[in-house]
Structure formats: structure tokens, C-alpha cells
Amino acid sequence: LRVGDLSVKRDLTDVRDVCRAYRLLLDPAVPAGTYNVASGRAVALADLVRVLVDLARTPISVERDEDRFRPADVPVICGDPSLLMATTGWKPKIPLNTTLADALAETRRATTETGAGA
């Protein structure tokens, strides 16, 4: 697996949690405004790769590829969901490890059904 800069950190939220936030925001009692749907926690991409490699059924070699680095990449991107939480009571429920495991399982299922292998 050839990768770029895995030291960058990103705020990642399971789409199921995001959809739950959207449903809460559709309530007419929720004041109009700008709400950040985010976990409020930045995770290094290296940690994500480590989890996925650990979940893999075959050994995976991870190699830095300088061509995949982006010179203008922002080191940390993290959202502030405090207004959303205070207004609706929402908070992310699905741990990132669960998100990754579920996404990998779904990819395996889909590729097995299409004969592409997993």
C-alpha cells in the first residue's frame, strides 16, 4: 500500500452518526443556523491505516510514496460540534474502529458478490 503523509489529522464521523444529526436538525423546533456535524476529535491517518492493516486477512506492506504527498496539505482539520450538541443533544455514538471494521466488511461482501475478490 503506497501512502502519502499519514501524520495529518482529520476529524472523521461515521455516516450513520451524520445522518442521525441531520434528522435531528430537521426538527422544526431546532433554530436555524450553521451547525458543524463532526466528532470534535482529529485522528492521524497513520492510526486509521494501522487499524485497517490489523483487520486485513493478508499481510500488507505500507510504503511512503513522496509523490502522494500534498505540499499544501493542512496538518490538522477538526470540526467543533458544540453548537449541534448543545442544541440537539447529538453526539457521535459509533467508534471509529467500528466504522472502519464495518466499511471493510461491506467492501469484502460487495467484492465477493461481484467476483472481484476481497
Digit-coded pLDDT (tens) for 67-101: 999 989 999 999 999 999 999 999 999 999 999 99
CATH of the domain at 42: 3.40.50.720
Domain of 21 in residue numbering reads as 2-114
User: pLDDT per residue over 41-58, tens digit each?
Assistant: 999 999 999 999 999 999
pTM: 0.86
By the 10 Å C-beta count (0-12 exposed, 13-18 middle, 19+ buried), 39 is classed as buried
Phi-psi region of 74 (alpha: psi -120 to 50; beta: other; left: phi over 0): beta
How many domains are there within the chain? Answer: 1
